[in-house]
A and B are shown apart, each in its own frame.
Chain A
Amino acid sequence: EDKVVQSPLSLVVHEGDTVTLNCSYEVTNFRSLLWYKQEKKAPTFLFMLTSSGIEKKSGRLSSILDKKELFSILNITATQTGDSAVYLCAVGYYNQGGKLIFGQGTELSVKP
């Protein structure tokens, strides 16, 4: 059975800290790994990764994929209270366009 596992499930840090969120997967016909940020309700897209070892970066957030070891990490540097959210990892498939399987999410809380 295909699965996506995120760790930790929850995390509390203080402003300015750096955090690393983990996502591992066991999926047949892997095509891509995606990170979303969910505040309140609607998940918003952060990154899509398809190639190993190529870092994607957006401001203080960065992510990288290891297709050999079947995992990805999401790094957030100099965290701010606005980074508090649930971070979701999802995997997409070849030949099943649009189908995503999600992990259970990591709930990040950034304290002032």
Chain B
Amino acid sequence: ETGVTQTPRHLVMGMTNKKSLKCEQHLGHNAMYWYKQSAKKPLELMFVYSLEERVENNSVPSRFSPECPNSSHLFLHLHTLQPEDSALYLCASSQDLSRNGETQYFGPGTRLLVL
């Protein structure tokens, strides 16, 4: 247990569906992240939030919409996804974005399959 939880753990959705991924951290951290991990590819940083403000959007398509209502919760809203979006989506948190930003604690991920 890293102190970062994600729900759901598995998700199957059609291309016309709308769904949301949820992440919660119990570590008192101020920064949260979304990553995408596709098979045989490196983890790709998608979004970075610091104190509920988005500070990084790594050229992610608009069909992925993040939301950070407070420093403990992070959502990823999904709509009209493509089959190539099927991947493991990992949430992470860190104390802040200073020298402590690199030490990130990851959740277990949501395995997403888009049909």
Interface residues of A (CB under 8 A from B): 4, 31-32, 34, 36, 40-45, 48, 88, 90, 92, 96-105
Contacts and interface: CB of A to CB of B under 8 A. Distances in A.
A32 B108 contact: no
Interface of B: 2, 4, 31, 33, 40-45, 48, 50, 55-56, 88, 90, 94, 96-99, 101-109
B104 A97 contact: no
A42 B107 contact: yes
11 contacts: A42-B106, A43-B90, A44-B2, A44-B106, A97-B96, A97-B99, A98-B48, A98-B55, A99-B48, A100-B43, A101-B42
A83 to B, nearest CB: 19
Given A42-B106, A101-B45, A102-B43, 9 more contacts: A32-B102, A44-B2, A48-B103, A88-B43, A92-B102, A97-B50, A97-B97, A98-B55, A104-B40
A42 B109 contact: yes
Contacts of B90: 41-43
A102 B42 contact: yes
B2 A48 contact: no
A92 B101 contact: yes
Contacts of A42: 2, 4, 90, 106-109
Main secondary structure of the interface of A (DSSP, over half): strand
Contacts of B56: 96, 98-99
B109 A99 contact: no
A104 B45 contact: no
A109 B97 CA distance: 34
Contacts of B94: 98
Contacts of B55: 98
Contact of A97 (B4, B40, B98): B98
Given A41-B88, A41-B109, A100 B42 contact: no
